[in-house]
Every structure is written in C-alpha cells, then in structure tokens.
Amino acid sequence: SSISKMPKAVVCTAIGPYATSLAVQEWNGTVADNDDDNDVRIGSGEARVRVLAAGLAFPDVLIVEGKHIQKKEAPFVPSSELCGVITELGEGVEGFKVGDTVFGTTNSGALCEETIIYPETCYLLPKGVDPHVAAGFELNYGTTYHGLVDVAHLKKGETLLVLGASGGVGMSAIDLGKALGCTVIACASTAEKLECCRKAGADVLINYVMDGDGNFKQALKDADVY
C-alpha cells in the first residue's frame, strides 16, 4: 500500500479537561509530533479519505475527559463521524472509487486532515447535501431511527415526546417524528433552545424550567401528554 505525508490533526494529548487536553499536531495514526516513522499506510479493506468535515457531540468531550463509558488512552484523535473524499483504496474494497465523497464513521479519529475508514461503515454522499450536514448524520439519525422505528415502531398519528430536544439526537428525533406523521412535543431548558426546536418542526414546545410554574409533570399535563 502507498504512503501519505503525515497530516495534521487535533490530538488529545492527555485525558483531562478538553480545554487543556487538545493540541494541533502532526499525526501518523498512532504517534504525534516528531516520530521517526512518518508513514501513514492503509491496509486491506480500508480506504483513506481527505476529511471535509467532522461531526462533534457531547460524548466526544466526555471521551477526552475520561468520563464516557468508552475509554481511550491518549494520544488519540477525537471524533468518530466525518464526511470526506476517498483518496486511496486498500485491497479488496468494492463499491467505491477514488474521488467518491462519503460520510459515515471512523475508528481512527475524524479531527484530522485525512483519516482511515472501513468503507462498509460509510455511504456515498448524495448530490446537493452539504458535507457539514452529512458529517453529523450517521450517529444522530442512526440512533434516533433505531430507537423510534426499529424498537418503538413509531407510527403516523402518534405523539412523540422528545426530552433534551435541542441536542443532535433530539433534533433528529423531531425531524424523523414529523417525517413519520407524528405530533412532536419538544422539551428543552431555554427559550433559545426551544426556538431551534420550533424551526426544526416541533408542534408543541415545553420549557423544563418555566412551564407549569416550574413543575415539569404539570407542564406535560397542560400539553395533554397524559
């Protein structure tokens, strides 16, 4: 397999507060800075992508700070979602070609100029879709679809209550709920967050803090949730 010049990345250099644990460094996939081996090789069944956009979420912060159930040892490159252009294919990769723009997940870290993916965890980017949107699609919408469709079997005409609705999974739940023909009740803690939920299509907005005189259970009753 061929060799690429070592790219730059945002590297978690030590587990701890994200504000002090991250640094921009050269990265060869295992070691940062001035390691003697600057080769970045891809293996069979892998592909190299030039990263256009990376998805970031609260779990990424928790992993850097060592507070997530998924533990990593520093150094590593955070973020597991991306959209990028394939620049090289390893042996045995089918269904993709160099130059294809793809989005999906990576175990190698997405906050890097280039990274390695397994093509079976990625999808071709449809024409007209913004790479910045696609980079945050897989984990948010994949989680929501599995929960609402595969598990809950949400159907047209039902009511969907979304807690923490202004986050990535919450916003995708609003979107998916409306697409399935449901009435969506979105809950969040500030007027600014609820405005985002309204723009996303929520039918009813509930402020955890203010509505129901601060009694969330009463606010749900007022919204005819139960």
Task: Please write the tens of the pLDDT for every residue from 140-152.
Answer: 999 999 999 999 9
Residues whose CB is less than 8 angstroms from the CB of residue 149 and which lie 6 or more positions away in sequence, other chains included: 176, 180
Q: What is d(CA 202, CA 185) in angstroms, rounded to the nearest whole number?
A: 6
Does residue 175 carry a pLDDT above 60?
A: yes
Mean local confidence (pLDDT), 33-54: 77
pLDDT, tens only, 70-88: 999 999 999 999 999 999 9
Q: Which residue has the tokens 């269904």?
A: 95
Q: What percent of the chain has pLDDT over 70?
A: 92
Amino acid letter, 6: M
For the packed helices 168-179 and 138-145, what is the interaxial angle rounded to 10 degrees? 50
Terminal CA-to-CA distance of the chain, rounded, Å? 60
Does residue 3 carry a pLDDT above 50?
A: no
Q: What is d(CA 83, CA 121) in angstroms, rounded to the nearest whole number?
A: 12
Mean local confidence (pLDDT), 188-193: 96
For residue 65, give both structure tokens: 């700070």
Gyration radius of the chain's alpha carbons:
21
pLDDT-based confidence at residue 40 (cuts at 50, 70, 90): low
Does residue 32 carry a pLDDT above 50?
A: no
**Which strand (E) or helix (H) includes residue 158?**
none
Amino acid letter, 12: C
Residues whose CB is less than 8 angstroms from the CB of residue 129 and which lie 6 or more positions away in sequence, other chains included: none
CB 54 within 8 A of CB 110: yes
pLDDT of residue 33: 47
pLDDT, tens only, 216-226: 888 888 887 77
pLDDT of residue 219: 87
CB 116 within 8 A of CB 46: yes
Q: Which of 62, 61, 76 is nearest to 30 (CA)?
A: 76
Q: Which of 136, 143, 139, 202 is nearest to 175 (CA)?
A: 202
For residue 13, give both structure tokens: 């250099």
* Better-scored residue on pLDDT, 211 or 179: 179
pLDDT of residue 35: 46
Mean local confidence (pLDDT), 27-45: 64
Q: What is d(CA 175, CA 140) in angstroms, rounded to the nearest whole number?
A: 11
Does residue 2 carry a pLDDT above 50?
A: no
Give the lowest-confidence range in 1-10, 59-68, 94-103, 196-205: 1-10
pLDDT, tens only, 105-140: 998 999 999 999 999 999 999 999 999 999 999 999
- State CA 152 to chain mean position distance: 22
In what side-by-side order are the strands of the sheet with 204-207? 159-162, 183-188, 204-207
